[in-house]
Chains A and B, each alone.
Chain A
């Protein structure tokens, strides 16, 4: 299975990174990591790139890391479609101080608009 993982520096996306790599290794999937634009994020794209490279170095798999600029949701949906990915993987949502899960705008857009399966990593 060809999986496109989008990370934007939010906590849930950073948790999704090692878990998706692990899952990809176990399943023998074909992973691509997309670094998304996230205005206002504390983490810049270079840091995310470094982090993804480090996580991959610790794993048994190799995966291309791509910087995706533009609207994150629509770009992910478009790339998944044009490059024939089987699934888009994203972080499973932000947890409030109370512990309630809320989904970000990128996740909502992808769930509603993707023509491929969407995996929310918890």
Chain B
């Protein structure tokens, strides 16, 4: 399917880049770090551990996959060299993961996942901003995403950081943002 994707005219750049540490609403120290900069060698194992314990009610549009082999295949694709990944660490545990995956058309698709034990603590909004900051640092210019229309918390988060709705006639609405 070929359909031209629209982006806002105005860039929404100036996002903070990792590393960054903060105390979340539950008093936990959270470190936002680009993939490869984490506190342990095998970051992928920490990610697999988070996704294996992911609340199935928090899945959206088939993600994250449920079975471990599928999680590993999916992460292999997400952690490719030309993708941008930022992880929210609580000690050696991954609390959240945000990613920009190249779409093959010069733009990047965004997704963010926060483990249910870490939701509602202000992690997601910082994580997404630092992902966009890391993307900006690495030359990402245009970002888009799809989100289920009824997922108000997610839609509000995306809107807060500057995403604009570019298509809304389907179950999944599409939002886009120009970094530069």
Contact = CB atoms under 8 A, between A and B. Distances in A.
B22 interface: no
Interface in A88-122: 93-105, 108
Contacts of B170: 102-105, 108
Interface string B5-27: 00000000000000000000000
Interface stretch (B39-47, B89-97, B99-107, B122-130): B99-107
Interface of B: 1-2, 60-63, 65, 74, 77-78, 99, 101-104, 109-111, 146, 169-172
A97 B104 contact: yes
Nearest to A96: B109
Contacts of B111: 98, 100
Contacts of B78: 98
Nearest to A40: B2
A99 B62 contact: yes
Nearest to B74: A99
A105 B26 CA distance: 42
Contact of A99 (B2, B77, B102, B169): B77
